[in-house]
Amino acid sequence: MTEPYVILIGLEVHVQLLTRSKLFCGCSTRFGAPPNTQTCPVCIGMPGSLPVINRQAVQLALRTAVALNCTIPRSTKWDRKQYFYPDLPKGYQISQYDLPLSHCGWLEISDPKGAFASKRVGITRAHLEEDAGKSMHDEAVGRADSRIDLNRAGTPLLEIVSEPDLRSPAEAKCYLTELKLLLGYLGVSDCNMQEGSLRVDANINLHVGTADGPVPTPIVEVKNMNSFRAVERALSYEAERQWRLWQELGVRLGEPGGHKTTRGWDEGRQATYEQRAKEESSDYRYFPDPDLLPVVLPEETVESVRASLGELPAALRARLETGYGITPYDADVLVNQGRALVDYYLAVADACGDGKTACNWIQQGVLRWLNDRQTTIDAYPVPATEFAALLKAVLAGELTTSRGREVLAEMIDHGETVEQAMKRLGIERVDEAELETLCRRLLEANPKIVAQVQAGKEKAVGSLIGQAKKHNPNADPGRVKDICLKLIAGM
Amino acid sequence: MAITRDEVEKVSLLARLLLKEPELEQMTGQLGAVLEYIALLDEVDTANVEPMAHPLDVVDAFRDDEVQPSLDRERALANAPNRDDECYRVPAVLGVT
Amino acid sequence: MISLLDHTATILLRQLQAGALSAVELAQAYMDQIDRCDGTVKAFLHIHADSVLEQAERIDRKRAAGQPVGRLAGLPVAVKDLLCQEGQLTTCASHMLGNFHPPYDATAIRKLKEADAVLLGRTNLDEFAMGGSTENSAFQKTTNPWDPQRIPGGSSGGSAACVAARMAPLAVGTDTGGSIRCPAALCGVTGLKPSYGRVSRFGLVAFASSLDQIGPIAQTAEDCALLLEVLAGHDPNDSTSVNRPVPAYSLAVRRPLVGLRLGLVREHFGEGLDGEVEQAVREAIRVYESLGATVAEVSLPHSRYAVATYYIIASCEASANLARYDGAHYGYRTKEPAMLDELKHQRKQLHEAGDSAGLEALDSALIRMYRCSRSEGFGLEVKRRVMLGTYALSAGYYDAYYLKALKVRRLIHRDFQEAFKGVDLIVGPVTPTPAYKLGEKADDPLAMYLFDLYTASTNLAGLPGIAVPCGFSTGRLPIGLHLQAPPFEDERLLRAATMFQQATDWHTAAP
């Protein structure tokens, strides 16, 4: 790096866990219902109502925490985080403060293109909490109020806080991509940013190299980023802004004017903007929620969760690289598609016996198809066994690559087996003797061409290939050429 | 530990109360007296004592992840001091007046 | 001649079961008594006048048709206005909830309905159960049926007073630091605060969640057993309700305890205890001795810290529990146009004065809405406790107040564990004096807090405690005896109290 500073980035990611019902009540977590139709006394925070923990939310959180290599304490408890906001109907959020469900983990990230060395990003903690509702500013003329929808209030969230271990916006994006992939493999969240089931806040500052050693600039928390690309851009913008500010003012963290601030990302302007500090410094007055009992997480439970995790992306990538001989880049492409596609790949590769060919064909033939249709592998019409049969035919030289593609297209369009598709295309294996007879006849009919070849113009044989194809569409052009040359040479 | 009028005012904002004179003065005096009484606890040696936040030493009360019927919207909004057909209404959250 | 209304609930239930009495007759008798007495006592905030007879008729029909009926079938019950009842005004004696109609039933209410009790009405309390005199109700001041100049105790003052005045045979109260036992003692009735976790808190509007418990108030411990049997039990909607079987309290209650060992708390017989109260309590202990009990002195060395500990913990929890009353989703909201006008006016003034710091600090409309709604909706005592709790939990004070109190709570709990190694029950006074005059402690919150001196530690430790009438002052004001048992020994408590009531007749006295 040529800049005289190091960037420090830590991310706070909120993911919505895939439960049917909310964290503390039986209301549905389904997205998109009409406002205030998925609420009850508990999530409205009505007087007298009491929370009861959703077992599945704890299970999913635990699954994630174990996969993030976190330490799981023997018991975890619930705290009230107090602040007033109309989308927080109880006046406090049930969260976890000093005894979170997990802490001290890590997630390994690496760039398949090698832009940075692979590294472990520390996970400070991952804890459960309830989501707030939604406030909407009313745009109607003459109305200066907000509308509150509590459907989302009480939805289970897992807050995953990383250490400030990320050194560039690209690393931050890579961390998010890897985290999202992991959560998908674990089946704990759908990570849909548009529906708010994955939200990112970033803390960023610089350590500027000076004669007296590195000096930290004030930390900025960046919010309102609605895609991973936006995170990357916002952080790049913010790093540059902080560098400029440092050069102009030289304010370091903790000095007057150097306290932590919050900025929002404006996607339209591609810039961050200062969010006015709240009217009072936040004092959340956390204390243990007396309505809830601690949750005990015995070693056996943690171990059984660990045993049930299945193969996670990092291990899967390693297996594809070493066991199937594909490049880290290709392994990454496949694994990023999710477990179902990898399973498809594995079935094809195992059956056809060539991991590399299977990988190429799947990237060309399957991924493109899925991408064009914005669908997933379950919708792909060719079963892995048939796909493998096709590759076997290609590998055996029974089909050229281009002919193979035509066959695949037929198989997709008509839901056919390799056999059926070949038949439909009239592709049959041409007997070597039959091919020789055909070539002999063509040479006899084209003495001029024979003469040209004999005069050293080997290319002239090309026009025979076209004629051979006309007689028999299954004739392999390469073979026709070889046979013709051989026959001419023997004349 | 005495509490000042200024601190009482700050706490009143934190608690989202609005205390005007003479209530503020009275509150300062009464809270001061209670805090003075509470200082009695200072004489208790609590070194190495585990805090007790709850009388029960029971753990693990869960519910299964099953969807239960929600309140009909009309019933949910019935007690709202200000509302429309779909939502609760409150003064603008953005701080505009 | 003994009137219908002087019968205990247990006897009335027997008559109902035998067909000697109809639910309608009984309900009518209590409605008449309410008409006669409640103008003075003011125990009820709301009487279900339109549905009481209907409920009673329905039960009579069920009985007549030979259908199975619930365990309290036809018995009228009054309920503290702190438990949510679907569609019924549930005010918590606060302007904040002056128009609040819950869309659901508290578990205790549901159980009463399932037991075919006749719900008479909602009784008065200190606002959100904060207080010891029921004077902190936003709506009315309940008087002591033994002396209308005096307080009934609190916070379940309405429930205790209506039983004392024979306006209901059974009442439901709640107890956070003595709120069932104190008014029961001051009104000369029996009141039980069950073990924490014995009765579901679902639908009980929370004051301090780790201390609150719903319990029965009645003429006798036997009647309390009858009602507790209905109220108690595990509730999947309350994580802190304990999953243990509910004993048949009402069957067990008449079985005397053999070899009962009573512990007399040394620290409870010192400074501050009224001489007549002490005398009555000591006399009661002699009654137990005459019944074969042994008495030993026990020490609860940290009992003098109970009130301070209690006020910190209860106020901290309350400050969070009451944060939901902010005028946004239900309950009282300030008049917005006036509020906005004032804000505009203040902004203009600050602007003209060039006070930029003042402008910066000026509330937004939303925050001002919160502050006005809460300040106008809550009474003084509630505000005091919310302030105390907010302060004690705020940055820099948490360790000194809240955490310190939790540690002392542990020590108080240990004192009880130690004491119960040698005795079965701990016995002493419920309150330091009989009922005081209305307004007497109104300007001295601390003096009022200290009235919970003997009862608050029960809640801190999660124990069951019962108040039993044990005498009168020379001014003919009731005095209560306080019994406490180890957690989930509610049955022991009820049996001990019944032993006493079989040997004495203090509980039969009516104002």
Q: Which residue has the higher pLDDT, A243 or A432?
A: A243
Q: Tell me the two tokens of residue A87.
A: 């989308």
Q: Tell me the two tokens of residue A138.
A: 């009313």
CA C174 vs. chain centroid, Å, equals: 3
Question: What is the average pLDDT score of chain B?
Answer: 93
Amino acid at C385: R
| β-pairing verdict for C76-80 and C170-175 | parallel
CB C56 within 8 A of CB C74: yes
- B97 to chain C, any CB pair closer than 8 A? The answer is yes
In chain A, what percentage of residues exceed pLDDT 90? 67
* Strand segments (E) across A238-371: 261-266, 271-274, 287-288, 295-296
For residues C187 and C153, give the distance between their C-alpha atoms in angstroms, rounded to a whole number. Answer: 8
User: Model confidence at B97, in pLDDT bands (50, 70, 90)?
Assistant: very low
The CATH number given to A432-489 is 1.10.10
For chain A, which residues make up each domain, given as ranges?
5-301, 311-424, 432-489
The yes-or-no verdict on residue A280 having pLDDT over 60 is no
In chain B, what percentage of residues exceed pLDDT 70? 95
Question: What is the average pLDDT score of chain C?
Answer: 97
Cβ-based neighbours of C475, under 8 Å, separated by 6 or more? C147, C434
What pLDDT is stored for residue A214 in this prediction? 92
User: Model confidence at A279, in pLDDT bands (50, 70, 90)?
Assistant: very low
Q: A472-476, C4-8, C113-117: which has the highest mean pLDDT? A: C113-117
Residues of A whose CB is below 8 A from C320: 80, 82, 91-92, 285, 287
- Is residue A102 helix, strand or coil? strand
Nearest by CB: A21 against B66, B77, B87: B66
User: Model confidence at A413, in pLDDT bands (50, 70, 90)?
Assistant: confident
What residues of chain B, 54 to 93, have a C-beta less than 8 Å from chain C? 54-56, 58, 61, 63, 71, 75-76, 78-82, 88, 90-93
Among all residues of chain C, which has the CA nearest to that of A94? C320
With CA atoms as reference, report the closest residue to C276 among C79, C434, C461.
Answer: C434
Q: What is the mean pLDDT of residues A334-339?
A: 92
The yes-or-no verdict on residue C45 having pLDDT over 60 is yes
B49–C410 CB contact, under 8 Å: yes
Amino acid at C289: E
SS3 letters across C196-265 = CCCECCCCECCCCCCCCEEEEEECCHHHHHHHHHHHECCCCCCCCCCCCCCCCHHHHCCCCCCCCEEEEE
The yes-or-no verdict on residue C332 having pLDDT over 60 is yes
Give residue-wise pLDDT tens across range A196-243: 999 999 999 999 998 888 999 999 999 999 999 999 999 999 999 999
For residues A193 and C196, give the distance between their C-alpha atoms in angstroms, rounded to a whole number. Answer: 44
Q: Which residue has the higher pLDDT, A166 or B92?
A: A166
What pLDDT is stored for residue B96 in this prediction? 41
In chain C, what percentage of residues exceed pLDDT 90? 96
Q: Tell me the two tokens of residue C13.
A: 């239930």
With CA atoms as reference, report the closest residue to C457 among C503, C501, C426.
Answer: C426
Q: DSSP of A445-471, one letter per residue? A: H-HHHHHHHHTT-GGGGHHHHHHHHHH
| Mutate which: B65, B77, B82, vs A, most A CBs within 10 A | B65
For residues C505 and C511, give the distance between their C-alpha atoms in angstroms, rounded to a whole number. Answer: 14
With CA atoms as reference, report the closest residue to A45 among A107, A88, A12.
Answer: A88
Does residue C141 have an active-site annotation? no
The yes-or-no verdict on residue A164 having pLDDT over 70 is yes
Q: Tell me the two tokens of residue C365.
A: 């409309």
Q: Which residue has the higher pLDDT, C209 or A444?
A: C209
What pLDDT is stored for residue C2 in this prediction? 62
With CA atoms as reference, report the closest residue to C130 among C157, C106, C112.
Answer: C157
Q: Tell me the two tokens of residue C86.
A: 């679907």
For chain C, which residues make up each domain, given as ranges?
4-243+261-266+289-294+422-504, 322-402
Residues of B whose CB is below 8 A from A279: 13
A285–C393 CB contact, under 8 Å: yes
Helix, strand counts (H, E) of chain A: 17, 17
What pLDDT is stored for residue A277 in this prediction? 59
The yes-or-no verdict on residue A88 having pLDDT over 60 is yes
User: Model confidence at A141, in pLDDT bands (50, 70, 90)?
Assistant: low
* CATH architecture of the domain with range B5-43: Orthogonal Bundle (1.10)
Give residue-wise pLDDT tens across range C343-402: 999 999 999 999 999 998 899 999 999 999 999 999 999 999 999 999 999 999 999 999
CB A359 within 8 A of CB A337: no
For residues C43 and C246, give the distance between their C-alpha atoms in angstroms, rounded to a whole number. Answer: 31
For residues A462 and A445, give the distance between their C-alpha atoms in angstroms, rounded to a whole number. Answer: 15
For chain B, which residues make up each domain, given as ranges?
5-43
Helical (H) or strand (E) element with C306: helix C306-321
What pLDDT is stored for residue A402 in this prediction? 82
Does residue C437 have an active-site annotation? no
Torsion of CA C402, C404, C410, C411, to 10 degrees: -140
Q: Is C363 exposed, middle or buried (0-12, 13-18, 19+ CB in 10 A)?
A: buried
Dihedral sign from CA coordinates of C359, C362, C365, C367: positive
Q: DSSP of C270-299, one letter per residue? A: STT--HHHHHHHHHHHHHHHHTT-EEEEE-
C390–B50 CB contact, under 8 Å: no
What pLDDT is stored for residue A453 in this prediction? 86
Q: What is the mean pLDDT of residues A344-361?
A: 93
The yes-or-no verdict on residue A358 having pLDDT over 80 is yes
Cis peptide before C155 (omega within 30 of 0): yes
Give residue-wise pLDDT tens across range C46-70: 999 999 999 999 999 999 999 999 9
Q: What is the mean pLDDT of residues C330-353?
A: 96
Helical (H) or strand (E) element with C430: none
With CA atoms as reference, report the closest residue to A338 among A370, A365, A305, A307.
Answer: A370
Q: Which residue has the higher pLDDT, A218 or B94?
A: A218
Nearest by CB: A20 against B10, B65, B88: B65
In chain C, what percentage of residues exceed pLDDT 70? 100
Q: What is the mean pLDDT of residues A393-411?
A: 84
Among all residues of chain A, which has the CA nearest to that of C84? A48
Q: Is B5 exposed, middle or buried (0-12, 13-18, 19+ CB in 10 A)?
A: middle
What residues of chain C, 229 to 248, have a C-beta less than 8 Å from chain B? 236, 239-240, 242
For residues A459 and C12, give the distance between their C-alpha atoms in angstroms, rounded to a whole number. Answer: 117
The yes-or-no verdict on residue A409 having pLDDT over 90 is no
What pLDDT is stored for residue B68 in this prediction? 97
Does residue C179 have an active-site annotation? yes
Picking from A366-375, A432-441, C251-260, which range would have the lowest pLDDT averaged per residue? A432-441
Contacts of A among chains (3+ CB pairs under 8 A):
B, C
* CATH architecture of the domain with range C4-243+261-266+289-294+422-504: Alpha-Beta Complex (3.90)
B8–C387 CB contact, under 8 Å: yes
What pLDDT is stored for residue A139 in this prediction? 67
Residue found under tokens 């004065």 = C353
What pLDDT is stored for residue A140 in this prediction? 65
| β-pairing verdict for A53-54 and B62-63 | parallel
ipTM of the complex model: 0.96
Give the full edge-to-edge strand order of the sheet including A145-149. A134-137, A145-149, B88-91
Cis peptide before A156 (omega within 30 of 0): no
| Mutate which: A95, A285, A292, vs C, most C CBs within 10 A | A285
What pLDDT is stored for residue B94 in this prediction? 67
What pLDDT is stored for residue A480 in this prediction? 82
CA distance C239 to chain B (A): 5
CA C64 vs. chain centroid, Å, equals: 36
With CA atoms as reference, report the closest residue to A62 among A302, A296, A300, A298.
Answer: A302
CB C237 within 8 A of CB C265: no
User: Model confidence at A190, in pLDDT bands (50, 70, 90)?
Assistant: very high
- Is residue A488 helix, strand or coil? helix
Amino acid at C359: L
What pLDDT is stored for residue A247 in this prediction? 92
For residues A412 and C130, give the distance between their C-alpha atoms in angstroms, rounded to a whole number. Answer: 74
What pLDDT is stored for residue A54 in this prediction? 98
Residue found under tokens 């009360």 = B61
Contacts of B among chains (3+ CB pairs under 8 A):
A, C
CB C487 within 8 A of CB C195: yes
What pLDDT is stored for residue A491 in this prediction? 80
Q: What is the mean pLDDT of residues C165-171?
A: 98
Backbone φ, ψ for residue C411 (5° rounding): -65, -40
What pLDDT is stored for residue A429 in this prediction? 67
Residues of B whose CB is below 8 A from C384: 27, 30-31, 34
What pLDDT is stored for residue C59 in this prediction? 98
For residues C266 and A215, give the distance between their C-alpha atoms in angstroms, rounded to a whole number. Answer: 64
Q: DSSP of A375-425, one letter per residue? A: --GGG-SS-HHHHHHHHHHHHTTSS-HHHHHHHHHHHHHHT--HHHHHHHT
Give residue-wise pLDDT tens across range B61-92: 999 999 999 999 999 999 999 999 999 999 98
CA A328 vs. chain centroid, Å, equals: 16
Give residue-wise pLDDT tens across range A467-490: 887 787 777 777 788 888 888 888
